[in-house]
Amino acid sequence: MKVIQCKDYDAVSQQAANEVEALLRQRPDAVLGLATGSTPIGLYEALVERHRQNGLDFSRVTTFNLDEYYPISPQNDQSYHFFMWKHLFGSVNIDPQRVHIPKGDAEDPDAACLAYEEALAAAGGIDLQILGIGNNGHIAFNEPAEYLRAATHRAQLTEDTIEANARFFDRPEDVPREAISMGMGSILKARRILLLACGEKKRRAVEEMLSGKITTQLPASFLNLHPDAILITDLEL
């Protein structure tokens, strides 16, 4: 995996925005895979800035988000749907018809998972996938486990992740315990992957991933199998 080391969070965000911008200038109808969480917020701010200042155009871009809590309404301000409109989609000229986020309010979540994989395939796959990494090495909601799932699926969150997410909810009982998540196969099919990892909390997971040992106990380690995965980090490794 290629590693780009940056001096701080802002530099990581700008570097990631450079990659996205280069792709969109070359291919205005690119398919982007997008992530939520605190890490990509700086990237999304940079993209909004470039849209406003330099006319970076999202009108023909298609997006697929990695995951969404289940069950959750898209109107809930803790949903990933809400997050994406707040931090990116609401401030750029994206066509809402080209935005895909797993449906946290799907009546039949299994059918929604299948439909998501079909939509990914119909769009021709992801050109550039943005990823964060969990403190426990998870990627999207592919949590450390005895086995991982290849395709979009309904995922049980681990206690670690529920705890890490608790800061976003008023009451512990409101923290979702399930999600709909792209699988490791859906992610690894992306033609290029940018993994953003910032802060000391991520050091253990990043170092274990870079050791090159592949284990389902550290889902991010599977990124070592990808021919064009780039880690952008502020960690001195």
Question: Under the rule (CB under 6 A), what is the footprint of ligand PGA?
Answer: 37-39, 132-134
**Nearest CB to ligand PGA, comparing residues 135 and 215:** 135
Cβ burial of 104 (10 Å; 0-12, 13-18, 19+) is buried
- 134 in Cβ contact with 205 (< 8 Å): yes
Closest CA to 160 of 177, 174, 182: 177
Please, which residues bridge with residue 229 across strands? 193
- Least spacing, CB of residue 138 vs ligand PGA, in Å: 6
* Nearer to ligand PGA among residue 52 and residue 201 (C-beta): 201
Task: Provide the minimum distance between the beta carbon of 141 and ligand PGA in the complex, in angstroms, as a whole number.
Answer: 9
Is 136 a residue of the active site? yes
Between 41 and 114, CB nearer to ligand PGA: 41
Which member of 138, 142, 226, 234 is catalytic? 138
Respond yes or no: is residue 143 known to be catalytic. yes
- Tell me which residue has its CB nearest to ligand PGA: 37
Rank residues 120 and 195 by Cβ distance to ligand PGA and give the closer one.
195
For residue 120, the minimal CB distance to ligand PGA (Å) is 19
CB of 175 to ligand PGA, least distance (A): 14
Task: Give the nearest distance from C-beta 41 to ligand PGA in angstroms.
Answer: 8
- The tokens for 45 are 């701010």
How many whole angstroms separate alpha carbon 41 and alpha carbon 50? 14
Q: Nearer Cβ to ligand PGA, position 19 or 57?
A: 19
- Distance CA(9)–CA(37), nearest Å, equals 14
- The answer to whether 144 and 216 are in contact (CB under 8 A) is yes
Of 124, 145, 131, 108, nearest in space to 182 by CA: 131
The catalytically annotated residue of 143, 153, 226, 234 is 143
Residue 112: what are its φ and ψ, rounded to 5°?
Answer: -65, -35
| Alpha helices for the chain (secondary structure H) | 9-26, 41-54, 80-87, 109-122, 159-165, 184-188, 203-210
Catalytic site residue from 51, 65, 100, 136: 136
Q: Is 117 exposed, middle or buried (0-12, 13-18, 19+ CB in 10 A)?
A: middle
Name the residues annotated as catalytic: 67, 136, 138, 143
